[in-house]
Amino acid sequence: MKKPELISAIAEKTGAKKKDVEAFLNAFVETVEEALAKGDKVSLIGFGTFGVRERAARKGVNPKTGKPINIPATKAPYFKAGKTLKEKVK
C-alpha cells in the first residue's frame, strides 16, 4: 500500500476528506521525524515504537578494490512492532 492508497483507506474509514487526512498524515510523519532527529522515541501502544539506533564505527572492504576501508559511526531509524500488531499479522 502506498501513501495515496493509505490516505484513501483512512478517509473511507473515518468519513474525513482526503485532503484533511493527507494533512494529518504529513503532520504525523513530520512529528515522528522531528522526534527521532532529537533522539526521542515515539511509542504507539499496541502498534509499535519508532526509535534511533547508533551503529558503531567498523572496518569494511571496498568490493571493487578489495582494500580495507573505515566505515564511520552512524545513526539509523528503526521500527519495532508492538504486541497487538504482531498478533494481527500472524
- Contact (CB, 8 A) for 18 and 10: no
Question: In whole numbers, what is the pLDDT of the chain averaged over residues?
Answer: 95
| DSSP 8-state code for residue 12 | H
Q: What is the pLDDT of residues 34-64, one digit of tens each?
A: 999 999 999 999 999 999 999 999 999 999 9
pTM: predicted TM-score of the whole model, two decimal places? 0.79
Residue 90 has a pLDDT of: 85
Q: What is the pLDDT of residues 28-37, one digit of tens each?
A: 999 999 999 9
Residue 6 has a pLDDT of: 96
Widest distance between CA atoms in the chain: 58
Residue 8 has a pLDDT of: 96
- Contact (CB, 8 A) for 12 and 39: no
The grid coordinates of residue 50 equal 519508532
